[in-house]
Amino acid sequence: MSPGRYIDIGAQDPIVDSVSLAFYERGWRGVHVEPDPAYAEQLRKARPDETVMQAAVNTAGGTIPLFEIPGTGLSTGVSSIAETHREQGFDVRRIDVPGIPLSQVLGTFAGEEVHWLKIDVEGMESEVIESWAPSDVRPWIVVVESTYP
């Protein structure tokens, strides 16, 4: 069997807590979507043979605020979640990042199989899923992190 393909939305670090690392080490390749500039750069350096989209997946496109919590996987596009982290003592900085719909990300695999899609976007999971259409790409497995139903 040939190596597979994946899409990692909210990829974060290329090594620490990486969902894709074990697949990558076995020859799989994919697309990472990561809005945090520091993590996107780490992904580009560690995985030069993969696509890294430095953006947040959303329905509207354009530019959106990202509440960056440096050195963590907690950065979010949801201000109320960011405020909760700030109250817990985290450093929260607002930056603007490009927004793209999931359909655009999926379009990079037009005519190809995608074996898994992971969505881990700290409170924006519904918006990512809502931005799926229009796309004929149907990953075999979809994993969505949800800490708040």
Is the per-residue pLDDT at 147 higher than 80?
no
- The CATH number of whichever domain residue 137 belongs to comes to 3.40.50
In this structure, is residue 85 part of a structural domain? no
Tell me what the mean pLDDT of segment 59-80 comes to.
Answer: 94
In this structure, is residue 45 part of a structural domain? yes
Domain hosting residue 38, numbered range: 5-57+100-144
Is the per-residue pLDDT at 60 higher than 60?
yes
Q: According to the model, what pLDDT value does residue 112 have?
A: 92
User: What is the percentage of the chain residues whose pLDDT exceeds 90?
Assistant: 90
In this structure, is residue 71 part of a structural domain? no
Rounded-to-integer distance, Cα 21 and Cα 114, Å: 16
Q: The dihedral of CA 114, 118, 121, 127: what is its sign?
A: positive
Q: How confident is the model at residue 92 (pLDDT cuts 50, 70, 90)?
A: very high
Which of 123, 126, 38 minimizes the C-alpha distance to 84? 123
Tell me what the mean pLDDT of segment 129-141 comes to.
Answer: 94
In this structure, is residue 119 part of a structural domain? yes
Q: According to the model, what pLDDT value does residue 146 have?
A: 79
Tell me what the mean pLDDT of segment 121-140 comes to.
Answer: 94
Structural domains of the chain, count? 1
Rounded-to-integer distance, Cα 47 and Cα 30, Å: 10
- Tell me the C-alpha to C-alpha distance, in Å, between residue 21 and each of 17, 39, 47, 51: 9, 14, 10, 14
What is the residue-averaged pLDDT of the chain?
Answer: 94
Q: According to the model, what pLDDT value does residue 148 have?
A: 62
In this structure, is residue 67 part of a structural domain? no
In this structure, is residue 72 part of a structural domain? no
Rounded-to-integer distance, Cα 92 and Cα 146, Å: 21
In this structure, is residue 120 part of a structural domain? yes
In this structure, is residue 83 part of a structural domain? no
